[in-house]
Amino acid sequence: MGPVLAGVLQLLALTGALALVHIPAGTYMARVYSSTRHLRVERWIYKGIGADPDTEMTWPAYLRGVLAFSAAGVLFLYLLQRLQGVLPGSLHFASVNPAQSFNTAVSFVTNTNWQSYYGEQTMGHVVQTAGLAVQNFVSAAVGIAVAVALVRGFARSRTGELGNFWADLVRGTLRILVPVAAIAAVVLVACGAIQNFSGIHEVGQFMGGSQQWNGGAVASTEAIKELGTNGGGVFNANSAHPFENPSPFTNLFEIFLILVIPFSLTRTFGVMVGSVKQGYAILATMFTIWLGFTALMMWTEFAHHGPALQAAGGAMEGKEVRFGIGGSSIFAVSTTLTSTGAVDSFHSSFTGLGGGITTLSMMLGEIAPGGTGSGLYGMLIMAVIAVFIAGLMVGRTPEYLGKKIGGREMKLAACYILITPALVLVFTAASMALPTPPHSMLNSGAHGFSEVLYAFTSAANNNGSAFAGLNANTDWYNTMTGLAMLLGRFLPMVFVLALAGSLAEQQPVPVTAGTLRTEKPLFTGLLVGAILIITGLTYFPALALGPLAEGLA
């Protein structure tokens, strides 16, 4: 079987698996967030934190819950790292320095999981499990909760209430993420991923000598890091490490975990607003972009020019031979079109155009299908903008799902789409212009610029992957990427929840002959075009200085 055919078959198998679970998974999640029944363990948690799960919240109250919970998470995780040296199960690792502790705490709470450290040489078992793994669950649950609040804004009328944040957080964690992650962890262990709390071992090498490796709760961490679109990893090699990702099957299984919740949430959206066709229109938009980017990535990496690439069957530098170009290309696109950031290959070693595709994937706002929750609310914001553009074309007041898109709604949507590009471009410009620490950029020219651009694109979009040619473990990059992650996560949530509150207060308008049919393929095409044009106009100058200049050289 040729490598191209193998890649195509993997893509078809993955698509079939996602299609198979789409309806049951999406419908189940809609029931979770629409139910009025509380499980016994949930009632214990509500009593412990002093929350009333039946109290409805307006958008400011919902936002205060999100920010308070996330701030507590940052503080707890920061202190856990600073105290690591005196904790049991630390594997004799020292406490993490303040700048890196801040960066890591922010990274995991914001669902970014950017890591400027070697996981197997820095974090002990307690920090990995009680700190980082816990945030993998709850940060993902926060993202889904905010998306569900926006969906309720479309579904409800003449009320400013969006549900209860604490109930949404607990249900998302206990009823969705925990059971699915547990099953996924068992599958990974059965396929060869490790799961233990062993200490450091001396391991012999094929070429002589030895190397030190420690164990860890790797399979369970791997399961939730992919399922919650968190990223990161126990080992520095991430999902290219055989302890985390042992075989081509586990590689495809991990890609499935990355995509299953974001794609299935479109069904949840359709069920909750009372029109599954609307959910299919959003799904079609996400799938079109994901499939197009995957095909383009595979083409750029298989387009082998020169004798070395021809002998290897493609651009194999930086890629695991276990996965090949096909599996690596699907993983790279999936992890950057979502907010995952896990990698099974060295993105810095991709071709110039291939590296540009991974960067552009994040620049889209990670909405195709995006992160757990963040992808859905990002795509719905883009749908609002597309409806507004269509309204301008025909001279009609734009409407989406029976809600008028007026000046206030458009201002909030515009702020949402502008904040992340502003963070990316400002922080990148500052890092290139100011005398940042020497030797941070391991490459000069267009590729060096691409490394810095990729880093802040990854941070501000809460992705977490890196070109890995940039030494980001400096006070400058730890602080600046930390700020980019914080602002890139929570400022958009402010605008999303404010928009949800504005929509929920409206009186629905009846459908007429002039209403734009947003469940039709025409709207899907309009939405895809709006996404690509807005992103292209925003980022094209920066891309022209980096990936495009390198790819066309």
Beta bridge partners, 58, equal: 161
Contacts for 149 with CB less than 8 Å, ≥ 6 apart: 59, 62, 162, 163, 165, 168, 496, 497, 500
Residues linked to residue 396 through DSSP beta bridges, in sequence order: none
Instruction: Copy the structure tokens of residue 283.
Output: 């799904």
In this prediction, residues 77-90 reach a mean pLDDT of 90
Q: Burial of 86 by CB count in 10 Å (0-12 exposed, 13-18 middle, 19+ buried)?
A: exposed
Per-residue pLDDT of 389-448, as tens digits, reads 888 887 777 889 999 998 999 999 999 999 999 999 999 888 888 776 656 666 667 777
Between CA 402 and CA 531 the distance in angstroms is 22
118-132, pLDDT tens digit by residue? 777 888 888 888 899
Q: What is the pLDDT of residue 465?
A: 81
What is this structure's pTM?
0.93
Query: Is 80 exceeded by the pLDDT of residue 28?
Result: yes
Pick from 265, 49, 301: which is nearest to 177 by CA?
Answer: 265
The ranges assigned to domains in the chain are 376-552
Interval 85-99 mean pLDDT: 87
Please say whether the beta carbons of 455 and 466 come within 8 A: yes
Q: Could you tell me the pLDDT band of residue 535, with boundaries at 50, 70 and 90?
A: confident
257-316, pLDDT tens digit by residue? 999 999 999 999 999 999 999 999 999 999 999 999 999 999 988 876 656 555 555 677
User: Which residue(s) pair with 213 in the sheet?
Assistant: 201
Give CA angle at 386 (299, 490), nearest 5°: 85
Rounded to the nearest 5 percent, the helix, strand and coil shares of the chain are 65, 5, 30
CA 461 to chain centre: 8
Q: What is the pLDDT of residues 184-231, one digit of tens each?
A: 999 999 999 999 888 777 777 667 777 777 778 899 999 999 999 998
Helices vs. strands in the chain: H and E counts, helices first = 21, 4
Residues 140/372, Cβ–Cβ less than 8 Å: yes
Q: CA-to-CA distance for 53 and 33, rounded, in angstroms?
A: 12
- Kindly report the average pLDDT of the chain as a whole number: 89
Q: What is the DSSP letter of 164?
A: -
More confident residue, 14 or 549: 14
**Better-predicted residue by pLDDT, 344 or 181:** 181
pLDDT digits (tens, 9 = 90+) for 453-474: 888 988 999 988 877 667 778 8
Place of tokens 């004798």: 307
Sorting pLDDT into bands at 50, 70 and 90, what band is 148?
very high
pLDDT at 475 over 70: yes
Cα(33)–Cα(290) distance, integer angstroms: 27
- More confident call, 290 vs 90: 290
| b/e code 358-375 from CB counts within 10 Å (16+ = b) | bbbbbbbbbbbbbbbbbb
Peptide bond into 98 cis (omega under 30): no
- Work out the average pLDDT over 506-514: 82
Indicate the helix (H) or strand (E) that contains 213.
strand 210-214
